[in-house]
Amino acid sequence: MNLEDVLRNLPHHEGKLRLLIVDDQPINIRTLNQVFKEEYEVLMATSGAQAIEQAKAQKPDLILLDVVMPDISGHDVCRALKANRETEDIPVIFVTSQTDGTDEAFGFSLGAVDFISKPINPVTVMARVRTQLALKLQLDFMKNMAMVDGLTGVANRRRFDEALNNIWRLCQREERPMSLLMMDIDYFKRFNDQYGHLAGDECLRTVAKALKAEMRRPTDVFCRYGGEEFACILLYTDQAGAVDRARAAINAVHDLKIANGSSEISELVTVSIGVATIVPKRDFEPVHLIQAADKALYEAKVQGRNRYVVSS
For 155-172, what is each residue's pLDDT tens digit? 999 999 999 998 999 899
Band (pLDDT 50/70/90 cuts) for residue 2 is: low
Which residues sit opposite 277 in a β-bridge? 179
CA distances from 226 to 11, 122, 300 (A): 26, 51, 18
pTM, two decimals, is 0.66
Name, in order, each residue with C-beta under 8 angstroms of 16's C-beta and a sequence gap of 6 or more. Answer: 39, 40, 41
Please give the DSSP secondary-structure letter assigned to residue 120.
P
More confident residue, 88 or 138: 88
Question: Of the CATH numbers 3.40.30.10, 2.40.128.110, 1.20.950.20, 3.40.50.2300, which one belongs to the domain with range 3-144?
Answer: 3.40.50.2300
Question: ∠ CA 292-295-300 to the nearest 5 degrees?
Answer: 125
First to last CA, the chain: 56
The residue type of 32 is L
What pLDDT was estimated at residue 139? 80
* H or E element at residue 54: helix 48-58
* Half-sphere exposure of residue 164: CA atoms within 13 angstroms, side-chain side: 24
**Sequence ranges of the domains in the chain:** 3-144, 157-310
Hey, what amino acid is at 111? Answer: G
Q: Which of 202, 277, 172 is nearest to 232 (CA)?
A: 277
**For residue 141, which phi and psi values (nearest 5 degrees)?**
-65, -45
Confidence of residue 212 (pLDDT cuts 50, 70, 90): very high
pLDDT for res 224: 97
pLDDT of residue 172: 93
Q: Residue 36 pLDDT > 60, yes or no? A: yes
Check residues 241 and 3 and name the one with the higher pLDDT: 241
pLDDT in tens, 70-108: 889 999 999 999 999 889 989 999 998 876 767 777 888
Strands 178-185 and 271-278, how do they pair?
A: antiparallel
CA–CA distance from 181 to each of 75, 164, 208, 280 (Å)?
A: 45, 12, 14, 16
User: Is 176 buried (19+), middle (13-18) or exposed (0-12) by CB count in 10 A?
Assistant: middle
**Collapsed DSSP state (helix, strand, coil) of residue 20:** strand
Q: What value does the mean pLDDT take over residues 217-240?
A: 93
Q: Quick one: pLDDT at residue 3?
A: 57
157-310 shares the fold of 3-144? no
CATH class of 157-310: alpha beta
